[in-house]
Structure 1
Amino acid sequence: MTDIVVPTLGESVSEATVAKWMKKAGDTVRKDETLVELETDKVSVEVSAPEAGVLSEIVAAEGATVNIGAILGRMGGAGAQPAKAEAAPAPKAEAPKPPLAAPPAPQPAAAVTAAKQAPPSVQRIAAEGGVEVSGVTGSGKDGRVTKADALSIIENRGAQSQTPAPHPPLQARVVSDREERVPMTRLRKTIARRLKEAQNTAAMLTTFNEADMSAIMAARNKYKDSFEKKHGVKLGFMSFFVKACIAGLKEIPNVNAEIDGDDIIYKNFYDIGIAVGTDRGLVVPVVRDADHKSMAEIEKEIGELGLKARDGHLKLEDLQGATFTISNGGVYGSLMSTPILNAPQSGILGMHKIQDRPIVIDKQVVVRPMMYLAMSYDHRIVDGKEAVTFLVRVKEGLEDPERMLLDL
């Protein structure tokens, strides 16, 4: 027999939920064929067959919470007989307990000092969670412990202190003929928690403008065939928006910065998050160093990330470290919205539906394809003048893309 175990899930992730078995006990499987899908609070992970054979036994049923290294099922050779006719309703064998945490290694004095200088909000979270952050090297500036570090320590301690009990299957629980109740997925819980934290932490405000999309639409119509023929990807709107936002971020660096305790961290790079809606929920994969990439490279990467998001193949590194986010509600028909910050970022741009509207140009009423733009920002770090100026620069770049691409 070969054990099928929970793989390493990524930094700060210690457990997952068995979302769906793709095979039943007794099924013949090929090597590297997907057996089961796990869901963490960040991404979905597919576990493949380590070898060809028969899925003899399913140990962790759908809905069970499992730790890294726990046994999900067992496989035998091609002639093996299934141990069970079908998946057990709950794990029969207790999942192995993770090893006790080793005592923390001595930290350099600088690291201890940085930890002790954790901001009051982080110290409060650590105290409420019953954890000690002194001697811990954090992910903030100079090793300072951040809020995310404290939450991660609390979550990991909880996973190590007890063997997780299996959850009920992730299926609808009918309450009456008029409604049904289903448990929230890990990803949905994380989305809810992070959005509420952003509202509770940041002094969030939204400013609006609108852009005449005539120039971009004309450029797309003129070059779309030759662009696709040369680069193998369609010329969309997102690359124009990414370039326009980068121009604005370079002029208004506070929008590309974040608050860490009593410090402001200015980012001299431009990793742009692109919000993508999926069946599992909203995820924000990141286009790295977008300022160094051509429009064709940006379009290709956005397309690849979007496909990975919809198929559930995003990795943790695809989702981490964005300095600014763009969200396109226009694809769903939204005319105007107030996007919520993707903490710890200080700004997010909301795109919306392009709609023909009458506007006045040179004292003449004309009909133009217009888009409302919304920019939410953290007023603790970004002043109103800076936010408005940033959005105006985005508008100018979209309405005169040639000037933007020539860096004028």
Structure 2
Amino acid sequence: MTIEVRVPTLGESVTEATVATWFKQPGDAVAADEMLCELETDKVTVEVPAPAAGKMAEIVAKEGETVGVDALLATISEGEGAGDDDAPKKSSEEKADSGEKNTESGRGSGGSTGGSGGNGGGNVDVMVPTLGESVSEATVSTWFKKVGDSVSQDEMLCELETDKVSVEVPSPAAGTLTEILAEEGETVQANAKLAVLSGSADGTTEPAARPESGSDDMAGSKADANGGQYTAPPAGKDIEDAPSAKKAMAEKGLSSDQVQGSGRDGRVMKEDVAKAGSGGGAKSDSAPEAKAPAQPQRAPVSADDAEREERVKMTRLRQTIAKRLKDSQNTAAMLTTYNEVDMTGVMELRNAYKDEFLKKHGVKLGFMSFFTKACCHALKEVPEVNAEIDGTDIVYKNFVHMGIATGTPTGLVVPVIRDADALSFAEIEKAIAEKGARARDGKLSMAEMQGGTFTISNGGVYGSLMSSPILNPPQSGILGMHKIQERPMVVNGEIVARPMMYLALSYDHRIVDGKGAVTFLVRVKDALEDPRRLLMDL
């Protein structure tokens, strides 16, 4: 039986990749989940595992070729040669990458590095858990336990931080923490070893000796602490740089020994060449010749002031937020239009039914469901605000996946409520409450923060009176809500106090004209000032 190997999902808005390296050739035996090749996109490097055990039959996409999502990469003859005695043994690196460890999904299954297994005296490896689609590395944020501490099964050992979410690592078994291999602040790859547990929980076990080379010193198993670079490849091993990196080095007049590689085994990737070209990724022996990137210089600081300063490394989440917001400003022709809305109608309706709503649906009736409904209503009339640019095409979305910007202790995240246009008020309120709680606890998955078509940001909960929100790419619109404040307004010729809110719509002027943006905001205003319009679809 022939099994097809296809290009996996590459991430939001990424539609193609370059085949960087094939680790297997036709005729080679492969195990299920063993890495077959590495793909390179504009942003990340993606490894493609074998979908089944067998023998490599044909490689369809050669190294250097550009392939689209779900394109055919290769074929495998299932079951052929997978269990042959003469099949080449895997190196320790391949064993680590393909999951041939003495644990199962990070939980001890009786395997050990120096004992008979189980919890009676064998060692159990603590591995990096699955981090999510297209996420290949994380930073060790906090260790809750130290060497020598006794731990129970499923007790939290440490916390990892990725670009968007925090991941807690539970203990795979009861025992004693005998060795920590990745200290706080280190960058680790997916499936890397974090620590070692002893099955004896009496706390008397001595820390296990670090394995010899070929076990823990494998390339890609553990990133070093100076920026997450992979360890150097074994002596004498010929490392092939990514095809796109070779082309970039040729254009910049650089050689591979002048660039610090961040790929597997130190392989030079495209982004490494870009860093080296700007002076940020050149190896130490050529660093003096590289030009430093233009950055604002810090003002001189006196010795007394320096002692009172505190320097803290930006979290990965904060770095990602900074990069995405700046990229949004650099890419989109962003413009903001404003209006104001009288919240009297919404507040009266909410006050009239909030107790009955809570009793029936088990969730409070807030303002966000009204705004979500109003935006869904307006997006149907002005579909370009719910669209995105893909190259020279405009992609119109005939659905609304509403992003709700949420502040958390570690930074801003945007969980997505899918098909919000088809949900009731109660369903929207429940989804917002559930995702908001998960966001604050750092429990959101990557999938829950991808695919949004429009975003609502409520700065009013912090007291903001007016702001210009920044687009969440590749979306073309974001609505900013603000503080409700009583202001004197002229109603029917009389000056009365009204609960007013400023609304701000930031939009991508490349596909949304001023007329469309203003029309959208007016439709939102009309729906909120007379909520009955939502029921009548007016």
Shorter-chain TM-score above 0.5: yes
**1:280-317 CA distance string (max 9 Å, x none):** 11100000111111111111111111111111111001
User: Secondary structure of 1:177's match?
Assistant: helix
Within 5 Å, which residues of 2 pair with 1:281-320?
281-320=411-450
Structure 2 CA distance for aligned equivalents of residues 269 and 287 of structure 1: 11
User: Secondary structure of 1:342's match?
Assistant: coil
1:161, distance to aligned residue in structure 2 (A)? 4.7
Correspondence 1:25 to 2:155: no
User: Secondary structure of 1:254's match?
Assistant: helix
Partner residue of 1:113? none
Within 5 Å, which residues of 2 pair with 1:341-380?
341-380=471-510
**1:69-111 CA distance string (max 9 Å, x none):** 11111112223535459xx9xxxx9563239xxxxxxxxxxxx
User: Secondary structure of 2:262's match?
Assistant: helix
Q: Give the alignment partner of residue 169 of structure 2, picking from 43, 47, 54.
A: 47
Partner residue of 1:251? 381
1:60, distance to aligned residue in structure 2 (A)? 0.7
Correspondence 1:81 to 2:204: yes
User: Secondary structure of 2:455's match?
Assistant: strand
- Assess, with a 3 A threshold, how the Cα gap between structure 1 residues 184 and 129 changes in structure 2: closer, same or farther: farther
**C-alpha contact (below 8 Å) 1:57/1:82 kept by paired residues:** no
Correspondence 1:158 to 2:280: no
When normalised by structure 1's length, the TM-score is: 0.79
User: Secondary structure of 1:158's match?
Assistant: coil
User: Secondary structure of 1:392's match?
Assistant: helix
Structure 2 CA distance for aligned equivalents of residues 220 and 95 of structure 1: 62
Partner residue of 1:180? 310
Structure 2 CA distance for aligned equivalents of residues 84 and 10 of structure 1: 32
User: Secondary structure of 2:191's match?
Assistant: coil
Partner residue of 1:11? 133
User: Secondary structure of 2:317's match?
Assistant: helix
Correspondence 1:233 to 2:337: no
Amino acid at match of 1:394: V
When normalised by structure 2's length, the TM-score is: 0.61
Partner residue of 1:326? 456
**C-alpha contact (below 8 Å) 1:270/1:291 kept by paired residues:** yes
Amino acid at match of 2:374: A
**C-alpha contact (below 8 Å) 2:219/2:265 kept by paired residues:** no
Structure 2 CA distance for aligned equivalents of residues 128 and 264 of structure 1: 33
Residues paired across the two proteins, number: 341
- Assess, with a 3 A threshold, how the Cα gap between structure 1 residues 83 and 20 changes in structure 2: closer, same or farther: farther
Correspondence 1:214 to 2:344: yes
Structure 1 CA distance for aligned equivalents of residues 385 and 265 of structure 2: 41
**C-alpha contact (below 8 Å) 2:402/2:456 kept by paired residues:** yes
Partner residue of 2:327? 197
When the two chains are superposed, the root-mean-square deviation of aligned CA atoms in Å is 2.3
Partner residue of 1:390? 520
Correspondence 1:66 to 2:170: no
Partner residue of 1:97? 219
Partner residue of 1:115? none
Structure number having the greater helix percentage: 1
Amino acid at match of 1:30: S
Structure showing greater relative contact order (alpha-carbon pairs closer than 8 Å, 6 or more residues apart): 1
- Assess, with a 3 A threshold, how the Cα gap between structure 1 residues 68 and 302 changes in structure 2: closer, same or farther: same
User: Secondary structure of 1:229's match?
Assistant: helix
1:180, distance to aligned residue in structure 2 (A)? 1.3
Within 5 Å, which residues of 2 pair with 1:111-122?
none
Amino acid at match of 1:395: K
**C-alpha contact (below 8 Å) 1:25/1:83 kept by paired residues:** no
Structure 2's unaligned 5+ residue stretches are 1-122, 222-243, 250-260, 268-303
Structure 2 CA distance for aligned equivalents of residues 161 and 295 of structure 1: 52
Identity in percent: 65
Structure 2 CA distance for aligned equivalents of residues 400 and 359 of structure 1: 17
**C-alpha contact (below 8 Å) 1:175/1:181 kept by paired residues:** no
Bigger Rg over Cα: 2
Partner residue of 1:168? none
1:27, distance to aligned residue in structure 2 (A)? 2.3
